[in-house]
Structure 1
Amino acid sequence: MNEHHTPPSAADRDRPAKISVLIPAYNACATLEACLLSLTHQRLRRPFSFEVLVVDDGSDDGTGTMVDSFTSRLDLRYAYEPRTPASGRARARNIGLAMATGSLVVTLDADQVVGPDFLAHHLRAHGAATDLLVVGRRCQLGEGKFDLARLAHGFSLDALPEVVRGDEREPVFAALSCQLTHMRTAWHYLWTCNASVRPERLAASGGFDERFRGWGLEDAELGYRLVRDGVRMRYSARAAVYHEHRSPVSASMYREWRENLGHFAHKHPDPAVRLQEMFAPAIDPAAPAAEAWVDTAVRFEHAARALESAPHPAPHH
């Protein structure tokens, strides 16, 4: 019996036919295995396909051996980069971008799991557009381990720790009565644990800035450049990831965030960039209890709008 395939529609022919999934990893063998297992269950109609690019940032926990076990189940390439002072998520993602052959790039982190229609939802959100940056929902998981045996047979929420929180950005959208597309500070909410964009847009923007080291803001700064260059941002609640339980921000992470904010503000002398300083009390583990992060995010947006509407001084002659 000949298998019958429905020919692609005109709209499908305009969409990216291949997706490149970029995953940086550093000593995250167990969670990366869960992530890769979830990717083996993706449902994409022909002519669409995907490749997975894992960039190992100097792991010594057996990540390479584990990734090798997936080469028969995924179109997968693995790059190992020795750990150096220049190592970091920005550099790892640039290495992955240079390896990509797809016409849509989806960025993931190694500590999350995705449902079977995750890539299809990213693809659908872009449609035939070439100027979109799509960010997807991030659901936070409670403490516990992934059930790898169950995930090997198919995606199930029962194989994951309990979902304890939805995406923190959604209450911000609700409080502002708008979506990400209409926010002056939309670029701040590019979280590359779940985002997609055309590779030519990434290349035109210069890719990730590898001078960002440690934790925080390398993705927001990329978002800033993409938006400045005319890319439109869109939020997709359906393109969801399930994120491993996170420990609170540590003192060292906070120091890295502050250093990265200084680099960000020096590189882009836009007052709206400096306004991110407002988040410091909510992030600093040594600070007394401050207002909720959502309330700070709403103030941040209103302050950025005020800057945009303020009259500009007349030029001197």
Structure 2
Amino acid sequence: MKVSVVIPAFNARSKLRLLLYTLAHSVLDPGDSFELVVADDGSTDGTGEMVAELAVDDLTYLYLPRTDRSSRAAARNAAIAKATGELIVMVDADTVVGPAYLAEHVRYHRLRNDLVVIGPRPDLGDGDFDEERLRREFTFDAMPAVAWGDPREQVLAEFSGNMNRLAICWHLLFTCNASVRIEHLRRLGGFDEAFLGWGLEDTDLGYRLRQAGLAFAFNASAVAYHQRRRGIDAGMYGDWVRNLAYMMDKHQAPEVAIQSIVGLAMNPADRRIGWVEAMRCFEFAARALEGRLPVPITYRLVVVEEDTVDAATAELVARGATSDLLVIDETRGAELAGLVQCMDASGELLYFHRPSAARRAEIFSRYPVAESFNGLL
């Protein structure tokens, strides 16, 4: 499989250089390959000269003159138009990635063809990068430590690690770290370039991909580390409100309109609730619109240990179409995370990876079990 890594950039010269250094260490399976496509959205900081000096193999550099219609959507569309790979991996210029990053995106896409894969983007703390060392190798010793995790993981821990069962999975598509096959992007016309300023151009794409029938999966191993933490300022929030109004008018759908709940956590002048709490409210409201109201359900429990992966896999395949399943994955590598999220289950299919004893008790209290595979509770 050929991967096209699409990177929009605007005055991010030093940060983009670090990303290109780390992408150069990518390790793919035999027969797989990747190219880089940088869409420079009118930078004035010497980004183009930096890219030329690096002389990176398989890199296409596009310079887009800055206009009043410049946007992240337009930059990404320009890069996608130049891409030659069958899989598009979208990552922002202010991130760094490990050697397995691209391979992890590819691994999930081999599970099914109609998939959107989302990876976490934790924030690094303050500190310096050892650029020369990162040029030679990827090591955490050459960069600041992770200071903040990705809050989307808290949402998944709350409801289920099976992103495909979240009613708001499309809203959680952040193109700082996501991938989808190019055929789906072209079929839908890519990003909507009417989204200007900050926010929701990726959400809109996620919504359209979901409406087109694609599945969504979260791969916790496909990590893009954010080089700096940035809060939402008044200008960004104003852009988001304007783009939300456009998205609501465009789709005329109640699930799109109730995204206004998220605004309660984003207004820097009047932040009423936390972002995770806003997502919790949004998910419950979206489920109500789908008719997934709370009803008494008993689940068949499948506990996966390192030595029972094959048997648990067979159990999921056999029962997934007819039973409501609760999967507790105790393997270190989250062996069944991909399979669970890529299954077309008719009922509920919940997934939790290595929950603590207290969390496990909470899960069983919330989701009662009628029977269990292997008799493990």
Q: State the partner residue of 1:176.
A: 159
Instruction: State the alpha-carbon separation in 1 of the partners of residues 217 and 151 from structure 2.
Output: 16
Residue identity matched to 2:98:
G
Larger Rg: 2
Would the aligned equivalents of 2:2 and 2:87 in 1 still touch at CA under 8 Å? yes
Would the aligned equivalents of 2:264 and 2:278 in 1 still touch at CA under 8 Å? no
Residue identity matched to 1:204:
R
Q: Check if 1:221 corresponds to 2:204.
A: yes
Q: Check if 1:299 corresponds to 2:290.
A: no
Q: Check if 1:279 corresponds to 2:274.
A: no
Q: State the partner residue of 2:49.
A: 65
Match of residue 52, structure 1, among 27, 36, 49: 36
TM-score normalised over the length of structure 2 = 0.76
TM-score normalised over the length of structure 1 = 0.90
Match of residue 106, structure 1, among 89, 96, 112: 89
Q: Check if 1:138 corresponds to 2:112.
A: no
Stretches of structure 1 that go unaligned for 5 or more consecutive residues are 1-16, 312-317
Residue identity matched to 1:43:
V
Structure possessing the higher relative contact order (Cα contacts under 8 Å, 6 or more residues apart): 1
Of 188-197 and 61-70, the range deviating more from structure 2:
61-70
* CA apart distance, 1:128: 5.0
Instruction: State the alpha-carbon separation in 1 of the partners of residues 83 and 228 from structure 2.
Output: 29
Q: State the partner residue of 1:40.
A: 24
* CA apart distance, 1:310: 8.4
* CA apart distance, 1:197: 0.5
* CA apart distance, 1:70: 2.8
For the aligned residue pairs, the C-alpha RMSD in angstroms reads 1.3
Stretches of structure 2 that go unaligned for 5 or more consecutive residues are 294-377
* CA apart distance, 1:206: 1.4
Q: State the partner residue of 1:260.
A: 243
Deviations 1:64-89 (A, max 9, x none): 01111233x43101000110011111
* CA apart distance, 1:145: 3.4
Residue identity matched to 1:309:
G
Of 221-230 and 242-251, the range deviating more from structure 2:
242-251
* CA apart distance, 1:176: 1.4
Instruction: State the alpha-carbon separation in 2 of the partners of residues 104 and 291 from structure 1.
Output: 37
Match of residue 171, structure 2, among 188, 201, 208: 188
Deviations 1:208-249 (A, max 9, x none): 000001111100100000010011100000000100222211
Instruction: State the alpha-carbon separation in 2 of the partners of residues 310 and 197 from structure 1.
Output: 28
Instruction: State the alpha-carbon separation in 1 of the partners of residues 119 and 161 from structure 2.
Output: 16
Matches within 5 A, 1:200-219: 200-219=183-202
Residue identity matched to 1:291:
I
Q: Check if 1:19 corresponds to 2:11.
A: no
Match of residue 76, structure 1, among 56, 59, 78: 59
Q: Check if 1:122 corresponds to 2:111.
A: no
Instruction: State the alpha-carbon separation in 2 of the partners of residues 196 and 278 from structure 1.
Output: 27
Q: How many residues align?
A: 293
Instruction: State the alpha-carbon separation in 1 of the partners of residues 170 and 285 from structure 2.
Output: 15
Would the aligned equivalents of 1:31 and 1:146 in 2 still touch at CA under 8 Å? no
Residue identity matched to 2:285:
A
* CA apart distance, 1:259: 0.5
Q: State the partner residue of 2:135.
A: 152
Residue identity matched to 2:39:
V
Q: State the identity %.
A: 48
* CA apart distance, 1:109: 0.3
Residue identity matched to 1:307:
L
Residues 305 and 128 of structure 1: CA distance in aligned 2, closer, same or farther (over 3 Å):
closer
Residue identity matched to 1:295:
E
Residues 159 and 310 of structure 1: CA distance in aligned 2, closer, same or farther (over 3 Å):
closer
Instruction: State the alpha-carbon separation in 2 of the partners of residues 132 and 214 from structure 1.
Output: 28
The secondary structure found in structure 1 opposite 2:6 is strand
Instruction: State the alpha-carbon separation in 2 of the partners of residues 239 and 70 from structure 1.
Output: 25
